[in-house]
Structure 1
Amino acid sequence: MKKIYINCLILLPLFMCAQTEIDGIMMSKNNFCVGAVYQNSSWSEYWEGSFKRENLNLGTVSTKSVAVMGNYGVSDKLNLILSLPYVQTNASAGTLKGQKGIQDFSVTLKYMPLEKTIGKSTYSVYALGGFSTPVSDYTADYLPLSLGLKSKTATLRLMGDYQRGNFFSTISGAYLKRANITIERNSYLINDVHYISNEVDMPDVISVNFRAGYRSNRLIAEFVIDNWVTQTGGFDITKNNMPFPSNAMNALKYGVNSKYTFKKIPELSLVGGYNYVAEGRNVGKSNTVYGGIFYIINFKKTSTKDEN
């Protein structure tokens, strides 16, 4: 049983949602999936270290974004995935002004070296390598209203997928290596240590993702658990201070995703979902909803028609 489905990527601050590169599905050779996803995330409570609190000077912090995405099937076992989001932030109270603009461009190679069917079950193994870089001159040192962290990031992920009939489970783990950033001040204070520099050491991240549910050619419905943990080097927000780009930012998220492919127009599909942060450290207790539309272009079919 060969598994070939739509797969498109979205990268948004600080955590991912939607049908992404971390699902156990591939785009077939010479097919190009292109589309856009709108996402709305908001929170009024956040964790200052391990202490959950509100801040009346911020009110509700919201992030809206539209991401344009593409996924090209270089082969049935190798996909090239691209993403570019436009992000807008806002706080409902206080004097801090929200930001808007293009965030980070990302590219990911997704490779499936192994797919084996034993009886009624199919097992697949994937290796992914990704890179993201900021494409606009936004300010990273303006959290929680910054568009992102402005750090060039390399990602390596390993993933396994199991499917029996229309029911599946997928687990993956990733290491994110983040480059240092520069900020618009020439000194800053971390844990009572004063740094006379505009360069900030960014901690790396480990991410583990598990998803399970129903998957067919026309419908995907899944439950997702995602755990994002900052590695050595991050520190907590100090009492009543703004966040800092190199804070530890941990989050345990739960969510649901779905994708529906139209029977009469199999190239066209809709995606949608919801997720929330259940536990965290130095992040907002956010609720996120998203929806999007995608279309598959078969370049091999187009080329054949042109030749005739």
Structure 2
Amino acid sequence: MLNSKKVAFSVALALLVAAPAVLKAQTDEDGIMMDKKNLCIGATYMHGSWDHYWEGTFKRNNQNLGTVSTQSVMVMGTYGITRKLNFIAGAPYVWTHATAGTLHGQHGVQDLSAWLKWDALDLNVGKGVLSIYFLGGGSLPLTNYIADFLPLSIGLQSKTLSGRLLVDYQAGNFFATASGTYTGRSNIIIDRNSYYTTSLHLTDKVDMPDMASYNVRAGYRSNWLIAEAVFTQAFTVGGFDIRKNDMPFPSNKMNSTMAGIDFKYTLPKKWNALSIVGGGMYTLAGRNVGQSTSWDLGAFYVLDFSHKRSKAHTSASEKK
């Protein structure tokens, strides 16, 4: 299995720590599909940390926080309902830590995320294949973790619904993929009856801004090796800046621009159902997020319930 970044963390937390969500399989951001009745299942470990962050547009550090780190172990799976329709689901266990100050890190199971991925159209274009995918997904919190404790909370407690258009072009073993996503987020309830954003709110309900993102990736893709460069930009549709010397708040504006690399290696011969995946990301620019450096490493195994050889659709020639 392969790819990158979305089902792992909720989008908002990924923006907050400016680290990728950890999904390295046939995922919601790549042009790869599982065969019918094949299940790809596995786990990924991710580590991200930052000691500088953007307070609005002002980049600074904070001696009361030191270095903030977020770790997670994501368990996820992708199932081929048909050759053209896949179901993807996963949930992470997350823990956070700050090296300075008095704030204690949090830990626990975060959100369950799920996607349906439809390979809607495959066209022979030039020497390659152009594929168009439509995706729908969502997430919901699995535990009653504390959202109003940023930057050390493990999530934001918001339920989400997302829609995505993804376009993939592969010629030989070289490919390029682009996608755009819009995510609606539900309001949340926090453990206080008043708070201040740009004005005083005498309520425990927080209106969460929606989010949008786009993702571009390109590189080498075969049945045995995938190596790609990744660029992603995400932003909230609304929100407000962190106030001077204040803690972040769940409904802050959270924008980030990140770049990195991913890889997948499928073991040869009798081990070819097992894949090793990994990658790294760096936050180039942001607003109300940490300038994070992150990496991840995981392993996935394909179970073939159709009694045929397990595989993923990774080459353009298979679609011709």
Q: Could you state the TM-score of these two structures normalised by the residue count of structure 1?
A: 0.94
Corresponding residue of 2:314: none
Corresponding residue of 2:275: 269
* Structure 1 counterpart SS, 2:307: helix
Deviation (angstroms), 1:272: 0.5
Runs of 4+ aligned structure 1 residues displaced above 3 Å come to 5-10, 17-20
2:202 paired residue among 196, 209, 233:
196
Corresponding residue of 2:173: 166
Query: Do residues 287 (structure 1) and 289 (structure 2) align?
Result: no
CA contact (8 A) 2:135 2:165 kept: yes
- Give the total of aligned pairs: 296
Gaps in structure 1 of 5+ consecutive residues: 303-308
Gaps in structure 2 of 5+ consecutive residues: 15-19, 309-320
| Structure-1 separation of matches of 2:123 and 2:200 | 56
CA contact (8 A) 2:173 2:221 kept: yes
Corresponding residue of 1:139: 146
1:21 paired residue among 18, 28, 33:
28
Give a deviation string over 1:234-262, Cα, whole Å, max 9, x none. 00000000000000000000010000001
CA contact (8 A) 2:283 2:293 kept: yes
CA contact (8 A) 2:29 2:166 kept: yes
| Structure-1 separation of matches of 2:182 and 2:91 | 21
Letter in 1 for 2:235: V
Give a deviation string over 1:3-46, Cα, whole Å, max 9, x none. xx656864213143543311111111110000000000000000
Q: Which has the higher contact order (CA 8 A, sep 6+)?
A: 2
Deviation (angstroms), 1:125: 0.1
| Structure-2 separation of matches of 1:270 and 1:124 | 25
Query: Do residues 242 (structure 1) and 247 (structure 2) align?
Result: yes
Letter in 2 for 1:203: P
Corresponding residue of 1:255: 260
CA contact (8 A) 1:7 1:26 kept: no
Measured on the aligned residues, the alpha-carbon RMSD in Å equals 1.3
| Structure-2 separation of matches of 1:80 and 1:117 | 26
The alignment-based identity, stated in percent, is: 53
CA contact (8 A) 1:18 1:272 kept: no
1:65 paired residue among 72, 82, 91:
72
- Within 5 Å, give how 1:148-227 maps onto structure 2: 148-191=155-198, 193-227=199-233
| Structure-1 separation of matches of 2:8 and 2:304 | 25
CA contact (8 A) 1:39 1:289 kept: yes
* Structure 2 counterpart SS, 1:300: coil
| Structure-2 separation of matches of 1:151 and 1:247 | 13
